[in-house]
Structure 1
Amino acid sequence: MRYEKGRKDESRRRIVEAAAARFRGDGIAASGVAAIMSDAGLTNGALYPHFQSKAELVRESVGTALAEQSRQLQETLASGGPEAAIDTYLSAAHRDNPGTGCTLAALLPELARQPPEARSFYAERLSAMVDRIAAALPPQTPNAQGIALAVQATLVGALQLARAVEGTELSDRILAAAADAARALVAPHQ
């Protein structure tokens, strides 16, 4: 049986998207291949023509999710600047939907346990996001990279904390306090 052109690419894209959402929502360790493939609308056996292992799928799906996140960050920064990016990131909607949200905030503890070459790859993606934030600061901002890194760390850490106590008043307070802190980091340079 012959399949139409592009079917293999479409299947791979569906697998990567399903894996990224499943990993962000449930974690890497808790996400089995069967669930991912079911989410993609494919059989378990359809994974192996595309990926040799779950580890390979993790790397590609997380990398793809981080690239998409970086693209979305660029759009938000271009349309509303750093404050818009802070408000979008530290929103209740983002907190309440980890399956479609920030890959780093959803997976940070698991990413830290990945092999060194995978962590290096994720570090490159993180650096690209920090570079985007730094580039959105006004020219001549002293230590723009340091400010951008502090903003990124504040956002990711706050989102993780807010998710850990989701459903409580404390969760909302964490988001608000972190937004104020991140705005204070960029405010003197606006």
Structure 2
Amino acid sequence: MRQNAARRTALLDAAIEVLAHEGSRGLTLRAVDTAAQVPKGTATNYFAHRAELLAQVMTRIQERLTPDESQLADTMREKPSADLVATLLKQLLGRMRADRSSWLALMELRLEATRRPELHAELTRFFTAQLDANVGFHLDAGLPGDRVSVVLLYLAMLGLIVDDLTVPDLLAPYPLEDLIEAMVARILPPSDQGGER
């Protein structure tokens, strides 16, 4: 297998676009070559098979959706509070809107995982690690709420993101930033400044 890191990244980004626009059934190594505008057979030189491509796509999506370290550091200078949690969730919404393809690709992977046990296991590990990291970040930062609060915020944001990606007109009457503030206010009690771990 070839080791040109920039080419591999370009192929993975192309695979994300194919997943987002064509769905999982449209994701073939040939389709990735076409989307990346490289010679036929290029993706085959980097990925032994489609399953390997999918595993690496998940890692690339994680890279693309990870917040910018300097922006996150600036945000985290604020005192831990429910307002800070709302700010972090609004930034998450902004990242989703800036990279809709990655979120749509993840949704496609979720759907395909319902039909493919090996992908289901891999995706479960991926999302478990993501959720554990989010819970750990929240608690380590001293943000209000406990583990269950973080999971509830995750579930609420996931629903908001899915609707914004798929049927945005549904939530059009409700400003999403206001919904996020209400969600945080209802899930995190105002007096809770640390919660149980």
**TM-score, L = length of structure 2:** 0.70
Structure 1: unaligned runs, 5 residues or longer: 1-5
Count of residues paired in the alignment: 180
CA contact (8 A) 2:86 2:181 kept: no
Alignment of 1:32-181 (within 5 A): 32-69=28-65, 71-72=66-67, 78-80=73-75, 81-91=84-94, 94-95=96-97, 98-101=100-103, 103-105=105-107, 107-115=109-117, 117-134=118-135, 135-137=137-139, 139=142, 144-166=146-168, 168=169, 170-171=171-172, 173=174, 175-176=176-177, 178-181=179-182
How has the CA–CA distance of structure 1 residues 119 and 175 changed in structure 2, closer, same or farther, with 3 Å as cutoff? farther
Which of 2, 5, 14 pairs up with 2:10?
14
Q: Provide the aligned C-alpha RMSD in A.
A: 3.3
CA displacement at 1:26 relative to structure 2: 3.4
CA displacement at 1:101 relative to structure 2: 4.2
Q: Which amino acid aligns with 2:174?
A: R
**TM-score, L = length of structure 1:** 0.72
Query: Match of 2:41, SS?
Result: helix
How has the CA–CA distance of structure 1 residues 97 and 187 changed in structure 2, closer, same or farther, with 3 Å as cutoff? farther
Percent identity over paired residues = 18
Partner Cα distance (1:136, 1:34) in 2: 41
Partner Cα distance (2:175, 2:167) in 1: 9
Query: Match of 1:49, SS?
Result: helix
CA offsets, 1:57-92, max 9 Å, x none?
1121123212442x328766544343223112335x
CA displacement at 1:55 relative to structure 2: 2.4
Structure 2: unaligned runs, 5 residues or longer: 76-83
Partner Cα distance (1:169, 1:104) in 2: 21
Partner Cα distance (2:106, 2:176) in 1: 17
